[in-house]
């Protein structure tokens, strides 16, 4: 379990093989390309796209929750996948002769999905080989209006009791996740550069796979991150989805050596489980 910018992250992500990134404190997971036992208790799953390494274990997630008496899960999916996703469950219900209860929520860019504790998930368009989306998770909080700051507790309480609106609703961006995408997802959604924790795929890291090939496959190359090094305002950045062709320890050395220090110090490379 990692803790980045004060947020707990329990993640597995290997390019082309499997991705499931859990945020236990928010009771959610991104993608279900594998179904580790801890992920079964995450009631909401935000799916980025339908490649099997991101979605293929969803039926197991649903069935295991049902078997262990947990409430039906919420699956947020790109709207383009809604019909086939529903058919997938219909087929598995026939095969498994079970009800596989779940709520399916097609939500795309410009839509939003409310989470617990005042958190909101908003999909953003991703640029991949199939319909794909990343997510920005914001926290909505109430903040005392400027004119009430510095006033006594009694004054504020009396104003509130007499029906005066003393707070504004403010939002902070807690987490952004790219899913599988070309780097454009960051440039077109610059709020991702400001999230407390940015989780981004960096599938390729050196000249063995050049930038153009990474782009043609709908992925991010480390060179493209370096070219934008000064734009990242995030407290912490997690690199996910490293291609299985790399040795993670070696990749970590390459990443730390190639990134400028002010960025390298905030970057963690997700290692495959040992
Ligand atoms: Zn992938
Ligand atoms: Zn993919």
Q: How far is the CA of 252 from the centre of ligand 1 (A)?
A: 20
Would you say residue 224 has pLDDT above 80? Answer: yes
Q: How far is the CA of 18 from the centre of ligand 2 (A)?
A: 10
In this prediction, residue 222 carries a pLDDT of 98
Average pLDDT over residues 2-18: 96
Q: How far is the CA of 19 from the centre of ligand 1 (A)?
A: 7
In this prediction, residue 274 carries a pLDDT of 62
Would you say residue 49 has pLDDT above 70? Answer: yes
Ligand closest to Cα of 218 equals 2
The mean pLDDT of the chain is 96
In order, the DSSP letters of the chain are -EEETTEEEEEEEEETTEEEEEEGGGTEEE--SS--GGGGG--EEE-----HHHHTTHHHHHHHHHHTTPPPPEEEE-GGGHHHHHHHHHHHHHHHTS----EEEE--TT--EE-STTEEEEEEE--SSSS-EEEEEEEEEEEE-GGGTT--HHHHHHHHHTT---EEEEEEEEEEE--S--THHHHH-GGGGGSSEEEEE--B-STTS-HHHHHHTT--BHHHHHTTGGG---SEEEEE-EETTS-HHHHHHHHHHHS-HHHHTTEEEPPPP-
Q: How far is the CA of 150 from the centre of ligand 2 (A)?
A: 51
Ligand closest to Cα of 51 equals 2
Q: How far is the CA of 51 from the centre of ligand 2 (A)?
A: 5
In this prediction, residue 118 carries a pLDDT of 93
pTM of the model: 0.94
Ligand closest to Cα of 201 equals 1
Average pLDDT over residues 8-24: 96
Domains recognised in the chain with CATH numbers = 2-143+171-269 (3.60.15.10)
Instruction: Give the rounded percent of residues in the chain with a pLDDT score beyond 70.
Output: 99
Average pLDDT over residues 199-226: 97
């Amino acid at each position: 379990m990692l803790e980045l910018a004060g947020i707990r992250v329990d993640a597995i992500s290997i390019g082309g093989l499997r991705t499931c990134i859990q945020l236990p404190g928010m009771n959610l997971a991104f993608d279900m390309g594998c179904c580790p036992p801890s992920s079964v208790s995450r009631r909401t799953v935000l799916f980025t796209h339908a490649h099997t390494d991101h979605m293929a274990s969803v039926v197991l997630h649903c069935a295991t929750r049902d078997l262990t008496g947990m409430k039906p899960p919420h699956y947020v999916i790109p709207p383009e996948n809604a019909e086939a996703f529903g058919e997938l469950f219909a087929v598995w219900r026939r095969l498994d002769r079970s009800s596989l209860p779940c709520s399916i929520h097609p939500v795309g860019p410009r839509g939003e999905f409310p989470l617990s504790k005042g958190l909101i998930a908003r999909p953003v368009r991703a640029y991949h080989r199939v319909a794909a989306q990343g997510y920005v998770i914001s926290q909505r909080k109430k903040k005392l209006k400027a004119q009430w700051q510095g006033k006594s507790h009694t004054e504020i309480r009396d104003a509130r009791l007499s029906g005066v609106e003393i707070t504004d609703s403010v939002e902070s961006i807690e987490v952004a996740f790219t899913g599988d995408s070309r780097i454009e997802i960051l440039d077109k959604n610059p709020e991702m550069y400001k999230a407390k924790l940015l989780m981004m795929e960096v599938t390729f890291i050196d000249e063995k796979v050049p930038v153009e090939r990474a782009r043609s496959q709908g992925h991010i190359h480390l060179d493209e991150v370096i070219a934008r090094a000064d734009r990242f305002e995030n407290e912490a950045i997690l690199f996910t989805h490293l291609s299985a062709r790399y040795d993670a320890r070696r990749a970590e050395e390459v990443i730390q050596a190639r990134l400028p220090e002010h960025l390298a110090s905030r970057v963690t490379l997700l290692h495959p489980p040992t």
